[in-house]
Amino acid sequence: MASVIRVTGAWTQLLTDWLDHERLPAPDIRAMLTRWAPEDTVPVQVWRDLLSRAVALRPQLLAPGLLIGSGVQPRHVGVMGYVVLASSNLGEAMLSYQRYERLLYGTDLVQVEALSHEIEVRWPKEMPSFNQLTDAVGIAALITFLRQQVDSPLEITYVSFVNPAPSLEEQVLYEAFFGCPVHFDDTHTRVRFPASYLTLPMAHSDSSLRTLLDRQLQALLLALPDSDAFDRALQQVMLKLLPEGVVTLPRAAEILFVSVRTLQRRLDARGISWQSLLDRTREQLARQYLADRSLTLGDIALLLGFSEQSAFNRAFRRWTGQTPMEVRRT
């Protein structure tokens, strides 16, 4: 089953610390925040809602996401934060973030690309559980954290967000915070910095500690909970329904002996729609089936609940940008 985007419980402490800094009692929000231990996972839509409720207590505050994110400390990202600290240089730190991001969000989102003399770190737009506030907190935290750890000033050359532009007053604050042009309504959330910065030494480099933490993070990745009892039950239902070609939310609810409303609520709590879950499950199964040379493309289409192979081909291209045959040839 495809991973659901979430945040680590440690990440929510960013908001607790901001509430403390602003001297906001916020008993309801704090009660929710105390429900999660650092090692727990929190659905990203819950994190988004908590952020929104918190900043609503300061309605006149401009660019609150930048203020919350700027309070980041290593403990807010758990072991991953400390392995970044122990890295030898910024390049190794960025590689660690890319390698272990799944521990923070429950899935791999970041893309890193060399652009001439710059490095671009970006996240795709197709993340409906995120919004302007969550993005601002995340990017502000990332840049603040890296700036805290390098021995030299870290200058950012370009930042963009997928969200609509905020007020002009806030745009000025964004550019002052990042120290570079900031654009909005982009296809990706992006951060660029000079490629030469990859060799900047980290202030707390420790190769021995880094090795130990790497081992711990690898173990955490292997132990990352991808599903619970409900997820597994739903997966079994989908595996049963797909070859029948009747993969609908009401039919799945019927087999699980729950109401359609209950099933929808449980999917909402995981930050995923029925159609998205269906597409991701089909894609995951398609890749497994394509590895089995005894199955024809027509067989695979039927196993995935498609009435025609052409419908499967179109869907697979939409999911992956490739045809099933292209993937089978690799």
Whether the per-residue pLDDT at 163 is higher than 80: the answer is yes
Kindly report, residue by residue over 88-141, the tens digit of the pLDDT.
Answer: 898 888 888 888 887 777 777 888 888 889 999 998 876 656 788 999 999 999
Whether the per-residue pLDDT at 232 is higher than 80: the answer is no
CA gap 213, 83 in Å, rounded: 6
Return mean pLDDT, the chain.
Answer: 85
- Residue 210 — very low, low, confident or very high, per pLDDT cuts 50/70/90? confident
Please report the pLDDT score of residue 221 as a whole number: 65
Q: Which residues contact 61 (CB under 8 A, 6 or more apart)?
A: 55, 67
Say if residue 205 is exposed, middle or buried (CB neighbours under 10 Å; 0-12, 13-18, 19+).
Answer: middle
CA gap 34, 215 in Å, rounded: 29
Enter the DSSP assignment of 2.
P
CA gap 228, 146 in Å, rounded: 34
Domain 6-223: which CATH number of 3.40.50.20, 3.40.640.10, 3.60.15.10, 3.90.1520.10:
3.90.1520.10
Q: Domain ranges in the chain? A: 6-223, 229-329
Query: Which fold would CATH assign to domain 229-329?
Result: Arc Repressor Mutant, subunit A (1.10.10)
DSSP secondary structure of 32-50: HHTT--TTSEEEHHHHHHH
Kindly report, residue by residue over 22-47, the tens digit of the pLDDT.
Answer: 999 999 999 988 887 776 778 888 89
- Residue 1 — very low, low, confident or very high, per pLDDT cuts 50/70/90? very low
Please report the pLDDT score of residue 52 as a whole number: 95
Please report the pLDDT score of residue 161 as a whole number: 95
Whether the per-residue pLDDT at 196 is higher than 60: the answer is yes
CA gap 257, 265 in Å, rounded: 14
Kindly report, residue by residue over 277-310, the tens digit of the pLDDT.
Answer: 888 888 888 887 887 777 788 888 888 888 889 9
pTM of the model: 0.64
Instruction: Give the residue among 141, 144, 145, 146 at the shortest CA–CA distance from 90.
Output: 146
CA gap 170, 176 in Å, rounded: 10
Enter the DSSP assignment of 26.
-
